[in-house]
Structure 1
Amino acid sequence: MSIENVKAHFRKWDMENRVLEFPVSSATVTEAALALHTDEQRIAKTLSFMVDEQPILIVTAGDARVDNKKYKSTFHKKASMLKPDQVLDLIGHPVGGVCPFGIKDGGSVYLDVSLKRFETVFPACGSANSAIELTIPELEKYSGFKAWVDVCKE
């Protein structure tokens, strides 16, 4: 189960108890914001793409939208999101619970600068009813991110 992989990931730092599980769906930005009683922009959504035959994840603010020109300038490829059936296979998490924690080998994580305006954000934790509140330095540490990118519209 994907959430168990995420909890095992956080167990390395004795943080698995910070993973929140809800009796309602948190699969979309709107649903997550309602479940967490927070603003949609503070939901850290994780988008999955394919670059040079390798999956990548880009974590953005909940209100951010990918800018195709910025994406292409950064990754030198047209933005090509993974299909829903590829996400679980290549990333290890189902759509609605995709996060940068406990992912399958071969994927790279990038953090978008749209997140930097918040003290804390709420990424999912591998299921359609979970999240964790992290500071930006914690998100950097626990996601094992490769780089900060600027691929979203202003």
Structure 2
Amino acid sequence: MSDEQQLPERSRIVQQHLTDAGITARVRELPDSTRTAAEAAAALGCEVGAIASSLLFLADDEPVLVMTSGRHRVDTDILAGQLGAQTVVMASAKQVRAVTGQAIGGVAPVGHPSPVRTVIDAALAGYETIWAAAGTPHTVMPLTFEQLTALTGGPRIRVAAD
């Protein structure tokens, strides 16, 4: 059985999206959880800022996936201004699962039942390699900022004061 066939189903879907986009990065399964940016950074031996945390918000009740640097928290007022939204609130775990088909801590930038509007934290551009979840809390994938942008079609925006 190939490494790809041994991946969880949700991660195989993510890997197929990478392949279809012409991105050669491979999904990796880690022995320990990478649910938080700090856990992922420790497991990968990288800076916490290089972790692309996938956070789902509701902007005027419409889902928006924010790929943010693990080095800071999203400021919902700044995000609302960047999105031109009146209200921005964090989605519940149930909403995250319904929209993305993936559990909190494992939400990938792709591989959802239907496309999700995505925006990318400008702070991620400062890292040569960024790491994003790949469908489960135990799987990750290395990407460049350019690959993440191409994969999601998401614009680069500011999501925090730093």
TM-score over 0.5 for the pair: yes
Give the Cα separation in 2 of the matches to 1:44 and 1:144.
Answer: 15
- Taking the TM superposition and a 5 Å limit, the aligned residue runs for 1:140-151 are 140-145=149-154, 147-151=155-159
Structure 1 residue corresponding to 2:123, chosen from 100, 103, 114: 114
> Partner residue of 1:18?
26
> Partner residue of 1:133?
142
Structure 1 residue 129, shift from structure 2 partner: 0.7
Q: Structure 1 residues 44 and 52, CA, compared in 2 at 3 Å: closer, same or farther? A: same
Identity over aligned pairs, percent: 29
More deviation in 22-31 or 101-110? Answer: 101-110
CA RMSD in angstroms comes to 1.7
Provide the aligned length of Structure 1 versus Structure 2. Answer: 153
> Partner residue of 2:5?
none
Structure 1 residue 77, shift from structure 2 partner: 2.5
Give the Cα separation in 1 of the matches to 2:61 and 2:75.
Answer: 21
State the AA in 2 paired with 1:80: V
Instruction: Give ranges in structure 1 of 5+ residues lacking alignment.
Output: none
State the AA in 2 paired with 1:36: L
Q: Indicate whether 1:44 and 2:52 are aligned.
A: yes
Q: What TM-score comes out, normalization by structure 1 length?
A: 0.90
Structure 1 residue 72, shift from structure 2 partner: 2.2
> Partner residue of 2:112?
103
What does the per-residue CA deviation read over 1:120-139, in whole Å, with 9 as the maximum and x for residues that have no partner? Answer: 11011010011111111111
> Partner residue of 1:73?
81
More deviation in 34-43 or 8-17? Answer: 8-17
Instruction: Give ranges in structure 2 of 5+ residues lacking alignment.
Output: 1-8
> Partner residue of 1:61?
69
Aligned partners of 1:55 and 1:91 also within 8 Å: no
Q: What TM-score comes out, normalization by structure 2 length?
A: 0.86
Aligned partners of 2:59 and 2:80 also within 8 Å: no
